[in-house]
Structure 1
Amino acid sequence: MVSGQGLRGWVEILVTLLLVRGSFASGCPSSCICASDLLSCTRAALTKVPENLPPISVILDLSHNSLSFLSSNWLAGVPHLHFLSLNHNEFKKLSAGAFHNATELRHLDLSSNKLQNLQEGHFRHLLSLEELLLYNNHISHVEEAAFTRLCNIRKIYLSWNNLSTFSFSSMHNLTHPNLRTLDLSSNKFLELPVEEMSSLPAFIKNGLYLHNNPFTCSCPLYTLFTQWKHRGFSSVLEFSREHTCLYMGKPRAMVRILESQNGLDNCSSGLGQELADTGMKVLVGRKLMVTCNTSLPQENTTYLWISPAYDFIFPPGTSNQSFRIHPNGSLEIHKAQPWHSGIYLCIAVNRRLSYNATHEVNVTVHYPKHEVESFNTGLTTLLGCVVSLVLVFIYLYMTPCRCFRCCSKPPQTPSPPQESSAQSSILCGTPPVAEGPNSRKVGASRHVVFLEPIKEGRVEKNPKILQLRSDSDSSVFSDCPIVQT
């Protein structure tokens, strides 16, 4: 007869045997811990991935081991895997089919390894991936299409690597509509493609972290970060002091870009000039797509536009089809006309988040410029000035003297007048030099001209003379001598 205490001991042994048998039946690898749908093999000194992984696993932790290679179909036995941790291992590169069967994977941690580059085929099968951790590696190159197939990605962490370039245009909202965090901090960027980054949607800029990079100080870089600060982007506000640049590229001359006294005073005049995302130009009659760059997700968000004429544009657009609002909030102007120019305001409202945001875009509609212009205005003005100066010089220095004879000094002994000269009218504005005591003086205010010419063959003794008085001494007829016959 078995006592109660002995019966209790047999029951415990039986339960233990059942648990051990169940663990072997489910295929839980040795040196790993299996708990329901979780499989933990962390710090197990593994050099290769265990075989026969439990098919019900949703969470798999292989961190802090010595893994360096992943075969193409190693995840075929865990089709429901959502969380995979491979951090703190020895991976230098990934095979093209390493994640071929991980179509349901949502979180992938490859941080703290020795990865050197990311290629297009590494993540192409991770259609459901939402978080990708790649920080603290040796990554120096990322192919432009490396993240193209990650249509549901929300967060990508690439900090603490060796990146000096990155294709920001590949992060457009049409390819990654749910991307909210792109961490490129603590890399080796010396400069940034400012125009390329300015075309990014506002919700990507809000989570684009670029601090702790050895940027070379420049006005475009200063303008970019200053405008992001004014728009309240979290990526700039949360790490304001860590946004630095090196003056003239010298490591010892570090400048905090977003501080008031940063030595970039010459760039302050450009603050009023917005970058490419705030101004758009289009030819008359062409179609234009204006993006509503806000940090709100498209889910549960409604959009409203206000035209330059302060008219409200509600979805799906106007009745005459001149304006159309797309589901992502973009405003389409069907055939742009000059009166469509002005500032458009987008209002995005997300009722689930109880939050709204606005975005302004300045649209300019213009006619095409003529390829050949007849004359340049500045050149025409200069040519006119030169011609005017030449005419003035000709008038002043090349005009012939009309009274050459009377302006020359008269002879000492007057000669009798000749008949040939008697027929000409004499007019002069310069008085001759008076000689002799009997020389006749003429008043300065008297002006004389001959009324009758000397008849041919005889000389009049007393010609008729008309005396004219003038209040001004500057007349061209002043101070002419009276010719005596």
Structure 2
Amino acid sequence: MYNQMGITYIFWVSDTMIACPWMREWEEKLLFILIMGTLAGGSISFNCPSSCICASDLLSCVRQNLHQVPKPLPSTSVSVDLSHNNLSHLHSHWLSSLSRLHTLRLSHNHIRQMSAHAFHNTTSLRYLDLSSNLLQDIREEWFKNLCELEELLLYNNHIGYVDDGAFTKLNSIQKIYLSWNLMTNFSFQSMQNLSNLRTLDLSSNRFLKLPVEELSALPAFIKNGLYLHNNPLTCHCALYALLTHWDNRGFSSVVDFFEAHTCLYMGNPRAIVRILQTQNGFDNCSLGKLQRLPDNGLQVLVGKSIMMTCNTSLPQENTTYLWILPTYEFLAFPGNSNQSFRIHPNGSLEIRKAEIWNAGFYLCIAVNKWLNYNSTHEVNVTVHYPKHEGETFNTGLTTLLGCVVSLVLVFIYLYMTPCNCFRCCFKHPHTPSPPLESRGQSSILCGTPPASEGPNSRRAGINRHVVFLEPIKEGRCEKNSKVIQLQSDSDSASSVFSDSPIVPT
């Protein structure tokens, strides 16, 4: 029996040690080594920071106004709680001694930055809470070693940017919470291969537009837990078609928050429209667009690899996957003999190097014996040849450029065509005829008829219906050259078409 630091150690000695002296010496040495190892281990495991509470494998330092992480941390800790403090930075290797760490809570601090190796030697970590901090971005190298992480809480930060590969190495991740941040875009395509992901919360951010094609290509088990409500989205038919399609399929992300899916008409913050209500203003959106959503269409270039997910809601456990190729061949796990087609454990089908004859419809059949349920999913694959590097202009730009050139040529032809006849282009100005050449015209508006007028001149004005006014420089009309204003339509008609000349009153 041995007592140290209030702990009593009891060692049992067998009767064999007393009966066999030669064995007694060997067992005494072994017993001495065991005692020293136990005492050394006991002294390390009970090094608890003064501002914290240690209980078995738990370490709690909540609400201690800590500005730095306390040292040393007990190496036997499985759960560490440092929430509600004033921590602002996580340094490299600060958890290197906690190889058994399972749960880490760091919420309600002032953490702005983290070192690339902040989570070094924490491969057993399964629960990480970094919510309610001051993080502004998420870097790819932060979580790359957390291969066992299942739940990641990042809500209520100031996150505006997330690296495309920030979560791609989290093979065991099941839940990611990114709500109540400042994000305007997100790489949904990077979530394709996370076969265990069941919850991705992106609600209450600042998304103005969603990539409908990327969202439609996600597996059904991700779309079922993809929360996008309470974002200032702009209303458009593609968004309405997407959410209506998810509602018809009964996805929890839409059904559970039916009234919280809103959009802004023409981007006006005051014009809020509830997307999934009956009278929502989307009457002009054709329901036929629901069938044209790229929910199961993929495109790939010749020679590139492509991954097709078996888009079913069945759990991966106890589920068997079978693919039917466009050539009506059956393909089971793990794939064909030359590995040009490979089936992954989660049911995804990978084509290593796509060829033009690989295009067509692929059918996935998932069967779960325990649930006594099967599901099918169809994928349409289109294979394209890569474009040449010299092909810089697209069709739309070429057409627009041709229209502009045509308009310029038309204007040049109409307004800038050169004149071949010099005399035709520059005509001499018209010289008025002498006033005495057409006395018949001028005498109509003269106060007194000219003295030289005879019976022939009177006859000339009998059937006249048009009056030509010309400047009169000489003769008797010069004194009364003003045109008499006509008082009425009847007076003007009688004065113009009268047989007798106009006599002033």
TM-score bin, normalised by smaller chain: 0.5 to 0.7
Cα distance 1:51–1:266, how it changes in 2: closer, same or farther (>3 A)? same
Tell me the residue number matched to 1:404. none
Aligned to 2:204, what secondary structure does the other structure show? coil
- Residues in 1 aligned to 2:304 and 2:136: alpha-carbon distance in whole angstroms: 45
Query: Could you say which residue in structure 2 is the equivalent of 1:194?
Result: 212
Shift of 1:249: 0.8
Taking the aligned partners of 1:141 and 1:255, their CA distance within structure 2 comes to 28
Q: Is the 8 A contact 2:69 2:87 kept in 1?
A: yes
For 2:302 and 2:120, locate their aligned partners in 1 and report how far apart those are by CA, in whole Å: 50
Deviations 1:379-414 (A, max 9, x none): xxxxxxxxxxxxxxxxxxxxxxxxxxxxxxxxxxxx
* Count of residues in Structure 1 that have an aligned counterpart in Structure 2: 351
1:317-336 equivalence runs, <5 A: 326-327=343-344, 328-330=346-348
Distance in 2, matches of 1:25 and 1:144, equals 40
Q: 1:276 aligns with which of 291, 294, 303?
A: 294
- 1:127 aligned to which of 122, 140, 147: 147
Question: Is the alpha carbon distance of 1:16 and 1:167 closer, same or farther for their aligned partners in structure 2, counting shifts above 3 Å?
Answer: same
Structure 1 residues not aligned, in runs of 5+? 1-13, 372-485
User: Aligned equivalents of 1:98 and 1:287: distance in 2?
Assistant: 34
In the alignment, the residues of structure 1 paired with residue 167 and residue 100 of structure 2 have an alpha-carbon distance, to the nearest angstrom, of: 22
Unaligned 5+ residue runs, structure 2? 9-38, 392-505
Opposite residue 347 of structure 2, the aligned amino acid is G
Change (3 A) 1:344 1:96: closer
Residues 71-110 of structure 1 mapped to structure 2, 5 A cutoff: 71-110=91-130
Q: Compare 248-257 and 224-233 and name the one that shifted more.
A: 224-233
Opposite residue 92 of structure 1, the aligned amino acid is R
What's the secondary structure of 1:358's corresponding residue?
strand
Secondary structure at the residue paired with 1:349? strand
Q: CA deviation at 1:167?
A: 1.2
Query: 1: CA distance between counterparts of 2:91 and 2:347?
Result: 43
Instruction: State the Cα RMSD in Å.
Output: 3.8
Q: Counterparts in 2 of 1:278-317, with a 5 A limit?
A: 278-279=296-297, 290-305=308-323, 313=330, 315-316=332-333
Q: Secondary structure at the match of 1:169?
A: helix
- TM-score, structure 1 normalization: 0.63
The alpha-carbon deviation at position 32 of structure 1 amounts to: 1.7
Per-residue deviation, residues 53-97 of structure 1 (Å, max 9, x unmatched) = 111111111111111122212112211101000001111121222
Query: Does the residue aligned with 2:218 lie in a helix, a strand or coil?
Result: coil
Per-residue CA deviation, residues 308-357 of structure 1 (Å, 9 max, x unaligned), is 89x7836259999999672343457887769x85x654331233555543
C-alpha displacement of 1:161: 0.5
8 Å CA contact 1:323–1:331 kept in 2: the answer is no
Aligned to 1:155: 175
Which residue, 137, 158, 165 being the options, matches 1:145? 165
Q: What CA deviation, in whole Å up to 9, does each residue of 1:221-274 have, x standing for no partner?
A: 111111122222221111111111011111111111112211011113434433
Q: Report the alpha carbon displacement of residue 213 of structure 1 after superposing the two structures with TM.
A: 0.5
Q: Is 1:47 aligned to residue 67 of structure 2? A: yes
Aligned to 2:79: 59
Structure 1: how far apart are the matches of 2:334 and 2:231?
A: 44
Q: Partner residue of 1:38? A: 58
CA distance in 1, matches of 2:205, 2:379: 33
Moved more, 272-281 or 254-263: 272-281
SS of alignment partner, residue 265 of structure 1? coil
- Name the structure 2 match of 1:178: 196
Contact 1:39 1:59 in 2 (8 A): yes
- Residue 233 of structure 1 pairs with residue 251 of structure 2: yes
Report % sequence identity: 61
CA contact (8 A) 1:245 1:254 kept: yes
Flag the 1:55–1:266 CA change in 2: closer, same or farther, 3 A: same
Amino acid at match of 1:97: H
Aligned to 1:219: 237
What is the 5 A alignment of 1:327-476? Answer: 327=344, 328-330=346-348, 345-352=363-370, 355-362=373-380
CA separation in 2, counterparts of 1:256 and 1:271? 19
